[in-house]
């Protein structure tokens, strides 16, 4: 029995020693391997430099349709929101009173013309009698005065006819240009134009359409420099292409041309008001839209591009993380340019040989060693950009 207990104690001691040795081995610290990150060399390619701005669309023409003569609305010839052609009638104000006034003016003109004809004949007769020394000069003078007065009455009657014709034409309120008519502000049978012109509706021209934006003073100098290089003078400004995109658009699908440039920079803001014009046959652009604007400035060779997602920002500005020759992360301050597809132009801060960290940024920190995995960036080919 004693021998059995001694054997069991020995076995237990052996297991305890083994367990202690095993525990000692598990507590040995093994540092983790450096994190894996994806790196890429910047792409070098020729791109089209652009000036980018924000602006708003506005109608080329907009007008309020007014009742210029008083009367009752007899007809409304459109549905709210209809497209009207220039000269197409939108409202008819009761025309009968104005037709009667025109008829009356024409009758007055006929009467004045008859009186003028009679007085002219009388003047001629008196002149003949005077040549025969049968009448006095005073009679001729009196006949001449009457002829002049009757001729003046004819002129007044002609003016009255023209005024009556004009008033009659005002009973038809027509579209001054092609456009969309807004909801009417009056009802059929309503009396309008009493005392002052009554607003009946508005009409807005959608094709073409303007996009207005402002350009900073530095950008103005850049544009003028680019124009000089391309041989474009101030008189050729309307040839400068402008592109815009809506908030839901990808890129800048709407193409137009420069239409107006203010003659001076606004001193309070240091900006230059600019306007472009765009075809809008499909009506996709409406006045008041917020748009992104892009103006091509010319080709710029050997620009460095990296994925836009690789660029970070803090209080000191923009930066990228680079794996140096020892695979240690470095932070580089960069100046950025325009976006080309998903790549961003870097104007200063890196070279074509720098390995920029593009993925795994959350695992990389300046001064930390990493395991870089080289990836190759695909050149972006867009309008005016050459790989």
Q: What CATH code is carried by the domain that includes residue 327?
A: 2.40.420.20
Shared domain for 197 and 87, answered yes or no, is: yes
Domains: count for the chain:
3
Task: Assess if residue 239 is contained within a domain.
Answer: yes
Task: Assess if residue 3 is contained within a domain.
Answer: no
- For 18-60, the pLDDT digits (tens) are 545 555 555 677 778 899 999 999 999 888 888 889 999 999 9
Strands across the sheet containing 179-181: 62-67, 198-204, 179-181, 83-84
Task: Assess if residue 16 is contained within a domain.
Answer: no
Task: Assess if residue 31 is contained within a domain.
Answer: no
94 closest CA partner among 69, 124, 121, 113: 69
- CA dist list (Å): 289 to 55, 210, 292, 353: 8, 11, 10, 43
Query: 277, 299, 321 — which closes off a domain?
Result: 299
* Domain enclosing residue 90, as ranges: 62-204
Residue 5 pLDDT level (bands cut at 50, 70, 90): low
In this structure, are residues 170 and 84 in contact, taking their beta carbons and an 8 Å threshold? no
Beta partners for residue 54, in sequence order: 292
Q: What angle do CA 285, 290, 292 make, to 5 degrees?
A: 95
- For 278-295, the pLDDT digits (tens) are 999 998 999 999 999 998
Query: 204, 233, 250 — which closes off a domain?
Result: 204
Query: 258, 277, 299 — which closes off a domain?
Result: 299
Between 267 and 175, residue with greater pLDDT? 175
Shared domain for 325 and 284, answered yes or no, is: no
Task: Assess if residue 243 is contained within a domain.
Answer: yes
Shared domain for 157 and 236, answered yes or no, is: no
Q: What angle do CA 311, 213, 385 make, to 5 degrees?
A: 45
Shared domain for 222 and 193, answered yes or no, is: no
Shared domain for 200 and 84, answered yes or no, is: yes
- What phi and psi, each to the nearest 5 degrees, are found at residue 150? -70, -35
| Distance from C-alpha of 10 to C-alpha of 8, rounded to nearest angstrom | 5
Helix axes 137-170, 96-131, angle to 10 degrees: 160
Task: Assess if residue 17 is contained within a domain.
Answer: no
Q: List Cβ neighbours of 39 (8 Å cut-off, separation of 6 or more).
A: 323, 355, 356, 357, 358, 372, 373, 374, 375
Q: Is the pLDDT of residue 7 over 80?
A: no
| Distance from C-alpha of 67 to C-alpha of 92, rounded to nearest angstrom | 9
């Amino acid at each position: 029995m004693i021998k059995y207990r001694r054997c069991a104690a020995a076995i237990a001691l052996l297991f305890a020693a083994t367990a202690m040795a095993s525990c000692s081995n598990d507590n040995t610290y093994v540092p983790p391997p450096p994190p894996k990150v994806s790196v890429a060399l910047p792409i070098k390619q020729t791109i089209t430099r652009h000036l980018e701005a924000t602006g708003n669309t506005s109608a080329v023409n907009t007008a309020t349709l007014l009742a210029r003569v008083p009367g009752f609305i007899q007809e409304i010839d459109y549905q709210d929101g209809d497209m009207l052609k220039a000269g197409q009638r939108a409202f008819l104000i009761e025309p009968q009173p104005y037709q009667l006034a025109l008829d009356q003016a024409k009758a007055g003109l006929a009467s004045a013309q008859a009186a003028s004809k009679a007085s002219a004949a009388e003047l001629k007769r008196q002149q003949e009698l005077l040549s025969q020394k049968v009448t006095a000069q005073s009679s001729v003078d009196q006949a001449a005065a009457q002829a002049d007065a009757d001729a003046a009455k004819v002129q007044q009657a002609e003016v009255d006819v023209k005024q009556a014709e004009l008033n009659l034409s005002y009973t038809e309120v027509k579209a001054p240009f092609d456009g969309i008519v807004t909801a009417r502000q009056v009802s059929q049978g309503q009396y309008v134009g009493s005392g002052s012109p009554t607003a009946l509706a508005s009409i807005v021209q959608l094709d073409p359409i303007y996009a207005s934006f402002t350009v900073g003073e530095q950008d103005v100098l850049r544009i003028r420099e680019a124009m000089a290089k391309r041989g474009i003078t101030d008189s050729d400004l309307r040839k400068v292409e402008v592109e815009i995109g809506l908030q839901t658009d990808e890129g800048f699908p709407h193409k137009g041309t420069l239409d107006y440039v203010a003659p001076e920079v606004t001193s309070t803001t240091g900006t230059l008001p600019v306007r472009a014009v765009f075809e809008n046959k499909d009506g996709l652009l409406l006045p008041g839209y917020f748009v992104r604007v892009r103006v091509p400035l010319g080709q710029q060779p050997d620009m460095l591009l990296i994925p836009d997602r690789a660029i970070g920002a803090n209080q000191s500005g923009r930066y990228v993380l680079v794996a140096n020759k020892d695979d240690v992360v470095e932070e580089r301050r960069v100046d950025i340019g325009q976006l080309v597809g998903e790549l961003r132009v870097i104007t200063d801060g890196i070279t074509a040989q720098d390995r920029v960290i593009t993925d795994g940024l959350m695992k990389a920190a300046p001064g930390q060693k990493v395991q870089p995995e080289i990836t190759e960036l695909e050149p972006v080919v867009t309008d005016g950009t050459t790989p």
